[in-house]
Structure 1
Amino acid sequence: MATRQHKDIEKGGDNKAHEDLKAPFIDNTSKNVNRSPETDQNGSIKMALLSTAVAVCGSTEFGACVGFSAPAQFAICKELDLSVAEYSLFGSIITIGAMIGAITSGRIADTIGRKRAMALSSVICIGGWLAIFLAMGSVLLDTGRFFTGYGIGIFTFAVPVYIAEIAPKELRGGLTTLNQFMIVTGSSISFLLGTVVSWRTLALFTGLSPCILLLAGLFFIPESPRWLAKEGHKDEFEQALRTLRGPKANISAEAKEIYESILALQALPQTRVSDLFEPEYIKPVFIAVGLMVCQQSGGINGIGFYASETFIFSGLKSGKVGTIAYALIQIPITIVGMVLLDKSGRRILLLISSFGTCLGCFITGTAFFLKDHHIILEWIPFLAVSGVLIFIASFSIGMGAIPWLIMSEIFPLHIKGTAGSLVCIVNWLGAWVVSYSFNFLLNWSPAGTFWLFAGFGVLNIGFVAKLVPETKGKSLEEIQASINS
């Protein structure tokens, strides 16, 4: 019944309601039809960039959280006398918190708005970092790590969705990719500072700074116009859209497009998880969930959380050199991915990324195999580090950012909260499995561990090639209309 109503409205079934919704936005903006395209573009870019810069402070926080465990591992284990199993729990419990945060993230963002969801996440993360800073044993340490995980679980949904909803379609790919770039930046800052400061100082500096910046910045940016329209806040919707597009911009066409989508969605009932498996939604859900499985099955959270240990296993006397190289390579490669995203497209970068992560894991696994059989031992550290660096470079150019970008693009607005939560849960469940088991797998067989990840990389290439659509250069409404066509 709901599906038939949706289709009737899209065909113009309820014209009076349709005109009532459109009229205020067409009337109020028609006087600006003769605006300069250059003025429109400049106004749009300025506010879109500012709003994105504030939002991605949450991404920096995300990176700081996941990057903290690698450089802090040996100092924390020594000071608090933690075993490998206890530190594996500390390293991975962030994913449990993030999983719970993911369950609630969509509903929170849909209920209180994208801005308030990011503010709530920041406050929770601040509390978690303070607990880690003050910890004198594993209980408070794990509690703080859990709460930072819960906070970034909300960020994983709220940040990319907010950026996708406020960005002009020609900038959406690049701006949304800033989410991954700042995750990488936050992680790299943690890796680099962790080599020169104590773990408590690292927790205080890298953990609190992004949250404080985000809370301050939220006062200067608008709420998502699409969320305001969905909630029926017409005046606030127009004001937010004008703020984002510039005071002289003609917003009538975009407002009409958004409201046509909202009008169709209003006829549909509130979604439940079971609704995601209806025929009209199953394909985008399968694509988004599949991409998150691809992202995690390559081993990123095990390799990233315990990079120092991996380098020491390879034969390096200290993991610092490899850790610094790991941190430095992420940022320039992520920038390359951002530049290419709206030029080459999403699918080709995902294919390149999947192949590169597979190759990197295969090289590292081979290095450990040679070490186990005492073959060319002097080359083992070089091969292992090279494989890890190829892996992280390849991950950064595509598989890190693009699954989140596509997730924010392919779901209709009325199921975005429910579907987004499901996708984030899958992502964080995979992150927990990999991050908790990685130390045990490494003790079992370093070569087997990395070859296992390489095998998943081969499967990932097939998934992307067969099922992932190209979304470059399309509006959100165009993507959602075409994905089931």
Structure 2
Amino acid sequence: MQGYSSAPIAQGPVEGVSPAGLRRIRFHAVLIAVGGFLFGFDTGVISGALLFIKDDFDLDSFQQGSVVSVLVLGAMAGALGSGRLADRIGRRRIFCLEGAVFLVGTVVAVLSTGYWTLIAGRLVLGLAVGAASATVPPYLAEISPKEVRGRLLTLNQLMITLGILVAYLVNLAFSGGGTWRAMIGVGAVPALVMVASALWALPESPEWLLAHGRRAEARSLVASVSDEATADRLIERRERDRAASDPGAPPGEETAGWRALRTRRVRPALVVGLALAAGQQFGGINTIIYYAPTIIERTGLTASNAIVYSIAIGVINLVMTLVAIRLIDRSGRRDLLLWSFAAMVVTMGLLGLAFVAGWAPVLALLFMVLYIAGYAGGVGPVFWTLIGEIFPPSASATGASACTAVNWASNFTVSLVFLPAVGLIGEGETFWVFAAISMLGLLFTARFVPETKARGFAEVDRDLQSRFGGRRLAD
């Protein structure tokens, strides 16, 4: 749950949590982050599969774009609906449900006989992807001691990048025979892991148990990774934090759900979350993830070589996410965001110049890899970390749901218009637009984004209110 300890950030043992308990928490965090793996896999696998689907189903450019973007459309709906459902049935049960929906979508896509059945399968997969992307960060935050909360939340982004890399490798493995059905079908394996782990391995969130009056169960769960005295102290602290998040409400009657997002106290957090949700996508990341083989083909390389070179993008994405995991609880969230947005501005600008000036294909590939490195070292993981940290307990699930829905809406817009925009204004000029948006993200972060490293909600809230001029935004 949020804040196992009030101690400063620790690089060694976490105060109040036994070594065995911390190992157990990390194991649970890895299982929860499998939802992130499928997020990455199902968004990344289409980049290689589309090279063969377009010939099998004779798809035009609009249909190709819709096969990619319909998943994002489904993800918007899944993200919007998952927050309230997670509050109602619990984090563990919705995680199991998401795994089942992943399985259904995979089967429909693999067995599709034409454009419309493929669209249906991708839409169902999108519902699961969106729901998982909205519920995994709060679930991770609620089981994590705050000394290591950043690292455990960043596991979500690590698994997203690992899913993308595995998707690229799967694409390569099956590209020789053009068996795109097998590419997509591999996603059934982690979906089964989600269902099995929810049924037999994962605990319910202590935060959710407390919010539903199940104090004894929450205390027992916390005590299982610490001790009785620590459990009592942490349960009491959580109840104080919840009361502080809605000071006008009687105990047990705090403003929750979507109503909580409309309160004056929560609006600064919502503005930060929504702005970063849009900035993360309009910076151009998924033009690289979705269309890496297509972009590389435009430089003159063949489809097979394009898949091979896209693996380099997946590898650097994974490596830099590992770097971010090492730094996020040391350097903090703000510094990583500022560095990352600056790197995205420079590398996306150079990528645009490579296309406009007609430089060698290897330079375009180099700038794509450097752009991914800049993104994965900051903006990628930090956004998913922050949406699990900036909202009060009563608005955690719905706040993450709203931010994730905007993230997917932005993703949908970018993925749908990218190829038409390239045709209208050119590759280089389109990348320059993304560079300009990244600059806006840099300026916004410098002014409004708080540091959340090793902080509880009360400290983060004070910082947010100060950055937004106290109550001016709310009033």
TM-score where L is the length of structure 2: 0.89
CA-to-partner distance for each residue in 1:323-378, whole Å, 9 max, x for gaps?
Answer: 1211111111110010011111111111111111122211111011012xxxxxxx
Out of 379, 385, 395, the residue aligned to residue 399 of structure 1 is 379
CA-to-partner distance for each residue in 1:170-226, whole Å, 9 max, x for gaps?
Answer: 010001000000000001000111012121111111x11111112222222211101
Whether contact under 8 Å (1:192, 1:327) holds in the other structure is no
Task: Tell me, in whole angstroms, the C-alpha distance in 2 between the residues paired with 1:462 and 1:262.
Answer: 32
SS in 1 for 2:455: coil
Partner of 1:100: 77
Q: Once the two structures are aligned, what percentage of the paired residues are identical?
A: 31
Structure 2 unpaired stretches of 5+: 1-12, 467-475
Structure 2 letter corresponding to 1:453: F
Aligned length: 441
Instruction: Label 1:76 to 1:399 Cα distance change in 2 as closer, same or farther (>3 A).
Output: same
Whether contact under 8 Å (1:55, 1:159) holds in the other structure is yes
Task: Tell me, in whole angstroms, the C-alpha distance in 2 between the residues paired with 1:90 and 1:253.
Answer: 51
Task: Tell me, in whole angstroms, the C-alpha distance in 2 between the residues paired with 1:480 and 1:209.
Answer: 41
Instruction: Label 1:473 to 1:81 Cα distance change in 2 as closer, same or farther (>3 A).
Output: same
CA-to-partner distance for each residue in 1:79-125, whole Å, 9 max, x for gaps?
Answer: 11111110100000011100001111110110111111111111111
Partner of 2:263: 278
Instruction: Label 1:398 to 1:464 Cα distance change in 2 as closer, same or farther (>3 A).
Output: same
Out of 358, 366, 384, the residue aligned to residue 353 of structure 2 is 366
More helix by proportion, 1 or 2? 1
Instruction: Label 1:272 to 1:157 Cα distance change in 2 as closer, same or farther (>3 A).
Output: closer
Whether contact under 8 Å (2:243, 2:254) holds in the other structure is no
Partner of 2:293: 308
User: 1:277 Cα deviation (Å)?
Assistant: 4.0
Whether contact under 8 Å (1:358, 1:458) holds in the other structure is yes
Out of 169, 188, 196, the residue aligned to residue 216 of structure 1 is 196
Partner of 2:277: 292
Whether contact under 8 Å (1:315, 1:380) holds in the other structure is no
Whether contact under 8 Å (1:359, 1:390) holds in the other structure is no
Out of 335, 356, 374, the residue aligned to residue 343 of structure 2 is 356
User: 1:249 Cα deviation (Å)?
Assistant: 6.8
Out of 234, 242, 257, the residue aligned to residue 215 of structure 2 is 234
Task: Tell me, in whole angstroms, the C-alpha distance in 1 between the residues paired with 2:219 and 2:258.
Answer: 32
Task: Tell me, in whole angstroms, the C-alpha distance in 1 between the residues paired with 2:254 and 2:219.
Answer: 25
Q: Single out whichever of 290-299 and 245-254 deviates more from structure 2.
A: 245-254
Instruction: Label 1:254 to 1:39 Cα distance change in 2 as closer, same or farther (>3 A).
Output: closer
User: 1:421 Cα deviation (Å)?
Assistant: 2.2
Task: Tell me, in whole angstroms, the C-alpha distance in 2 between the residues paired with 1:109 and 1:40.
Answer: 27
Query: What is the Cα-based RMSD across aligned positions, in Å?
Result: 1.9
Partner of 1:338: 325
Partner of 1:457: 438
TM-score where L is the length of structure 1: 0.87
**Greater radius of gyration (CA):** 1
Partner of 2:307: 320
SS in 2 for 1:342: coil
CA-to-partner distance for each residue in 1:360-411, whole Å, 9 max, x for gaps?
Answer: 211111011012xxxxxxx420221111111111111111111111111111
Task: Tell me, in whole angstroms, the C-alpha distance in 1 between the residues paired with 2:372 and 2:50.
Answer: 20
Structure 2 letter corresponding to 1:362: G
Whether contact under 8 Å (1:360, 1:386) holds in the other structure is no
CA-to-partner distance for each residue in 1:230-276, whole Å, 9 max, x for gaps?
Answer: 11011211122123x24577322211101223455563554464653
Q: Single out whichever of 417-426 and 397-406 deviates more from structure 2.
A: 417-426
